Amino acid sequence: MTSRLLGKTPLIVLAGPSGAGKTSVARRLVAKDEKFVFSISATTRCSRGNEIHGVDYLFLSQTDFRTMEEAGGFLEWAEVHGQKYGTPLEQLETASRLEKFLIMDIDVQGAAQVKSEVEDAIMIFVIPPSAKVLLERLKSRGTEERDRLIERLRNAREEVAQANTFDYVLVNEDLDQLVSQIQKIVTLEDQGALEGIDLSGKIRQFQTGIDEVLDGILK
């Protein structure tokens, strides 16, 4: 079979609001399918305790992040919830050497930068099944402080408004199902045989749901 993508460091970008389950799906995909490798981002935020430097993230100081940025060491970087996050170019080199698909879990600003640099990147937007589920996921992650919760929900609403700039919008109802959908998309894209799916109705419904949840919190 001819591959449209291999040899070019094929990039699979997973973007979407925090709490959509991007990291879990990327990790499950990499564990299940050896064609994929996870892109380890650099960040200035601190480790959440169970996260390991060099496995989950490269945890850098502000100075080291800036030095790397000034040296042109990032494919993209962005400030998210007050911290810097970026994809080291080294991740692309590693994926290329291993001849694997690089799966990137990044925010929408970074995703836009990737798309402008790498036209062939497969852009996937992941949304939670509903605003209520997002709220529960954010709470269970320890984002309980009211102001931070409101900030993340508002960010989610803004991010979701950009979903229509992506090639695919997938709903994270079930992790294994999502992994299979991504495998299918990548296989068919690799053969140049797939086009995007229109989920604009689902996105509007999700945005309205966030408004209702925010109304409930702010009352």
Binding residues vs ligand 5GP (CB under 6 A) = 18, 22, 41, 45, 76, 78, 80, 85-87, 105-107, 109-110
CB 103 within 8 A of CB 5: no
CB of 3 to ligand 5GP, least distance (A): 26
Our CB check for ligand 5GP shows the closer of 36 and 85 to be 85
Q: Which amino acid is at 88?
A: P
Our CB check for ligand 5GP shows the closer of 96 and 109 to be 109
CB of 195 to ligand 5GP, least distance (A): 25
Our CB check for ligand 5GP shows the closer of 44 and 190 to be 44
Sign of CA dihedral 77, 124, 90, 42: positive
CB of 105 to ligand 5GP, least distance (A): 5
Our CB check for ligand 5GP shows the closer of 22 and 100 to be 22
Q: Helices (DSSP H) in the chain: which residue ranges? A: 22-32, 62-70, 89-98, 108-117, 131-140, 146-160, 175-190, 200-218
CB of 2 to ligand 5GP, least distance (A): 31
Chain-centroid distance of CA 158 in Å reads 15
In the bound state, the residue with its beta carbon closest to ligand 5GP is 110
CB of 18 to ligand 5GP, least distance (A): 4
List, in sequence order, every residue forming a beta bridge with 88; answer none if it has no partner: 74
Q: Which strands make up the sheet holding 122-127, listed edge to edge?
A: 36-38, 101-105, 11-15, 122-127, 168-171
Q: Give me 157's structure tokens.
A: 């609403």
Our CB check for ligand 5GP shows the closer of 4 and 53 to be 53
